[in-house]
A and B are shown apart, each in its own frame.
Chain A
Amino acid sequence: MTGRDLLAIEDLDRSELERILETSLRMEEVGRRDVKKVPTLRGRTLINLFFEPSTRTRTSFEIAGKRLSADVVNFSPSSSSLTKAEGILDTAMTLDAMDPDAVVVRHKVAGVPKRIADALDAPVINAGDGAHEHPTQALLDLFTVWQEKGRIDGLTVTIIGDILHSRVARSNLYAFSKLGAEVRLAAPPTMLPPAVESLGVKAYTSLREALEGADVVMLLRIQQERLAGCFFPSIREYATAFGLDRRKLRFAKDDAIVMHPGPINRGVEIAHDLADQRPSVILDQVRNGVAVRMAVLYLCAGRTPRGGVRREGS
């Protein structure tokens, strides 16, 4: 997949996902060395193009690029000066003229990374677009579960929270289904997308049923300011019904692990005492994020002229 974009987990097949996971395993070993740097992308340039603020994901990509010896440039145009799609493409094409070997894009509107990818010679890696996808988050979640459980096939993964607005849920739903896990979604009915079960997953409005026999419990961030009073009556009520604590976790398997893409709302999605220790693996997810992004950069980076031949839809 050299010189290719990573836009959505939906586009990948099983063998591609497995290849990324195996590559991540090797990159994880590099991260455990004293000298956490290899010369693989020496002389290559990586641009982090973040139209939407994100410290965590951007830092993770930045460290990943630097561990591969790439020169990393962060570019975060203020969103106020870039509201039209034309402006976004112009910015991206200007950056592309400086010959980067990969461009990491985050934007609050779904589909923007795809539009940019169609216009650039550099491969584009989607770092989150609207409510569409966040592929590297799903890959690091896959990798973390694989490390913990030794397999993905046959596991039961329960995703809890604002499924409707979550690109993390969407990417993870594809990722875990494609590798043979059973995916369950649990949320208040207002936060479940209509007809979501047509994607081959099960939707629950009862946390207890969704947790029954789960190997992995994945929590999503509740955006309190945006949702409270609109999709559920109050934060407190959400926490009571869908917030995870040790008591509710007992419905899952004894060795179930708890995941969260961060940043966490303590006392809302997850109880204070559960966030910081086993079976929570939240910080392992962060650590693995660097290895997985190194793997993605290793596999994707490299310019391929698109030669004016635009792909379908552009």
Chain B
Amino acid sequence: MRDPAPPLVPTGTSSVPSGLSLPFEMSAAGNGSSAQRSSARSQPADSSGPPGPPGPPGGNGTERIVLDDLAIRRALTRIAHELIERNEDLDRLFLVAIPNGGVPLARQLAANLEQIAGVELPVGILDTTLYRDDLVSRAERPPLRRTEMPSAVDGRVVVLVDDVVSTGRTIRAAMDALMDFGRPQSVQLVGLVDRGHRELPIKIDYVGKNLPTRRSEQVKLRGLSGELSGPLEVAVTEVSDEKPGDPSRDPVRREAP
């Protein structure tokens, strides 16, 4: 369903050619819609070079929208084209979403690929929680999410789809989990947002948007309706009430796996 609200991005502002991954295109274009959608205290996205001046002290809840629904759709259309370009045998692809954020993205990618290339690809869901490397050190066990693998993995080109890639630990966990399901021919990675702070040698093959962030910021894909369906957006929130030295409060680590 399209967002019934006024258009999120004035068409024509973006001159980004499809097929090209321009870093920071949203903020560089001074996209007005981001400012409209974000809260009154939002600050401009300073994406080139080092992070801009910190927000108001104690300004918990300061947030800005870095990708709105249309921008997300555009990125996924471009990524679909890139997948077609880089994979000769499209029928071998198996899209595997990392929940929760990866699920609507993988479904949209599958729809795009069907529309553009006429291929109908399986979409799986792979929860990585049981493969995390920080479970035992955490005070609370995170809830487990659904795993659904509708296709065999053996011999397929598995395309992992995640919303926000940061430390790389989730992706490491996802690859371990994947290998327990079989022996893929190869594994590729789609990340809607690459926010940096990598802790493992993991590279994204298809990036929606490169977004330099501070560790104290939280980057989140969310649905406008409160659920991860319908119109989506990616928001950056300053988490300033964090206690230093408490790893469970580290937003980067918290959203890892």
Contacts and interface: CB of A to CB of B under 8 A. Distances in A.
A23 interface: yes
Contacts, number: 48
Contacts of A19: 143
Name B's interface SS. Answer: loop
B139 interface: yes
A200 B182 CA distance: 51
Interface in B132-161: 132, 135-136, 138-141, 143-147
Interface size class of B (residues with CB under 8 A): 20 to 34
Interface string A9-35: 000000000010011001101100111
Contacts of B136: 41, 44, 101, 302
Interface centre among B141, B146, B147, B181, by most chain A C-beta atoms within 10 angstroms, is B141
Contact of A2 (B131, B139, B146): B139
B130 interface: yes
A133 B131 CA distance: 33
A96 to B, nearest CB: 18
A109 interface: no
B63 interface: no
For chain A, the bracket of interface size reads 20 to 34
A310 B181 CA distance: 45
B241 interface: no
B139 A35 contact: no
B127 interface: yes
B180 A35 contact: yes
A22 B143 CA distance: 8
B176 interface: yes
Contact of A30 (B130, B135, B141, B145): B130
Given A2-B138, A23-B144, A26-B144, A35 B131 contact: no
Nearest to A304: B139
A38 B141 contact: no
Contact of A40 (B130, B143, B180): B130
Interface of A: 1-2, 19, 22-23, 26-27, 29-30, 33-35, 37-41, 44, 68, 101, 298-299, 302
